[in-house]
Amino acid sequence: MTQTCSSTSRRQRQQRFRELMERLELGARLLRRSANFAWYTNGGDDRVDHASPLGVAEVLITLDGDYIFANNIEAPRMRDTCLLHRKLL
Protein backbone atom coordinates (compact mmCIF):
# COMPACT_ATOMS: atom_id res chain seq x y z
CA MET A 1 0.00 0.00 0.00
CA THR A 2 1.37 3.40 -0.98
CA GLN A 3 1.36 6.15 1.61
CA THR A 4 0.29 9.60 0.55
CA CYS A 5 2.28 12.63 1.54
CA SER A 6 -0.53 13.84 3.79
CA SER A 7 -0.84 10.56 5.72
CA THR A 8 2.94 10.44 6.17
CA SER A 9 2.95 14.06 7.31
CA ARG A 10 0.09 13.41 9.74
CA ARG A 11 1.87 10.40 11.24
CA GLN A 12 5.11 12.34 11.64
CA ARG A 13 3.24 15.23 13.27
CA GLN A 14 1.51 12.85 15.69
CA GLN A 15 4.78 11.11 16.54
CA ARG A 16 6.57 14.41 17.20
CA PHE A 17 3.67 15.57 19.37
CA ARG A 18 3.80 12.38 21.46
CA GLU A 19 7.58 12.70 21.82
CA LEU A 20 7.05 16.22 23.17
CA MET A 21 4.40 14.92 25.57
CA GLU A 22 6.84 12.29 26.85
CA ARG A 23 9.58 14.88 27.38
CA LEU A 24 7.15 17.09 29.30
CA GLU A 25 5.82 14.06 31.20
CA LEU A 26 2.24 14.65 30.05
CA GLY A 27 -0.13 11.70 29.99
CA ALA A 28 -2.66 13.43 27.74
CA ARG A 29 -3.33 16.70 25.98
CA LEU A 30 -6.69 18.13 24.89
CA LEU A 31 -6.77 20.26 21.74
CA ARG A 32 -9.84 22.52 21.70
CA ARG A 33 -8.94 25.41 19.40
CA SER A 34 -10.03 25.09 15.78
CA ALA A 35 -6.53 25.89 14.52
CA ASN A 36 -5.05 23.11 16.64
CA PHE A 37 -7.80 20.70 15.57
CA ALA A 38 -7.07 21.45 11.91
CA TRP A 39 -3.31 21.08 12.41
CA TYR A 40 -3.55 17.74 14.20
CA THR A 41 -6.22 16.23 11.93
CA ASN A 42 -4.49 17.39 8.76
CA GLY A 43 -7.09 19.96 7.78
CA GLY A 44 -10.22 18.87 9.63
CA ASP A 45 -12.67 21.76 10.10
CA ASP A 46 -14.61 21.74 13.36
CA ARG A 47 -15.87 25.32 13.13
CA VAL A 48 -19.50 26.40 13.12
CA ASP A 49 -19.05 29.91 14.46
CA HIS A 50 -16.06 31.22 12.53
CA ALA A 51 -15.61 34.10 14.97
CA SER A 52 -14.95 31.73 17.87
CA PRO A 53 -11.48 30.22 18.43
CA LEU A 54 -13.15 27.02 19.69
CA GLY A 55 -14.85 24.51 17.46
CA VAL A 56 -17.48 21.86 18.03
CA ALA A 57 -15.03 18.98 18.39
CA GLU A 58 -11.95 18.28 20.49
CA VAL A 59 -8.99 15.95 20.11
CA LEU A 60 -7.72 14.13 23.19
CA ILE A 61 -4.19 12.90 22.57
CA THR A 62 -2.66 10.28 24.84
CA LEU A 63 0.61 8.44 24.54
CA ASP A 64 -1.32 5.44 23.18
CA GLY A 65 -3.82 7.04 20.81
CA ASP A 66 -6.06 9.94 19.97
CA TYR A 67 -9.78 10.44 20.36
CA ILE A 68 -12.15 12.96 18.84
CA PHE A 69 -15.13 14.15 20.84
CA ALA A 70 -18.18 15.96 19.49
CA ASN A 71 -21.71 16.41 20.72
CA ASN A 72 -24.62 14.38 19.31
CA ILE A 73 -25.74 17.19 17.02
CA GLU A 74 -22.36 17.79 15.37
CA ALA A 75 -21.03 14.22 15.34
CA PRO A 76 -22.72 13.19 12.05
CA ARG A 77 -21.40 16.30 10.25
CA MET A 78 -17.92 15.72 11.59
CA ARG A 79 -18.00 12.09 10.40
CA ASP A 80 -19.30 13.02 6.95
CA THR A 81 -17.15 16.03 6.19
CA CYS A 82 -13.73 15.86 7.75
CA LEU A 83 -13.02 12.79 9.83
CA LEU A 84 -13.64 9.86 7.54
CA HIS A 85 -10.41 8.12 8.62
CA ARG A 86 -10.96 8.52 12.37
CA LYS A 87 -13.21 7.16 15.07
CA LEU A 88 -15.47 9.79 16.58
CA LEU A 89 -16.47 9.50 20.25
In order of start, what are the domains of the chain with their CATH numbers? 5-81 (3.40.350.10)
* pLDDT score of 61: 94
pLDDT reading at 2 higher than 90: no
Average pLDDT of the residues in 37-46:
87
Q: What is the pTM of this model?
A: 0.76
Report the alpha-carbon distance of residue 74 to residue 71 in Å, rounded: 6
pLDDT band at 28 (very low <50, low <70, confident <90, very high): very high
CA-based nearest residue to 59, from 35, 25, 81, 80: 35
User: Of the given ranges (19-23, 41-45, 51-55), which has the lowest mean pLDDT?
Assistant: 41-45
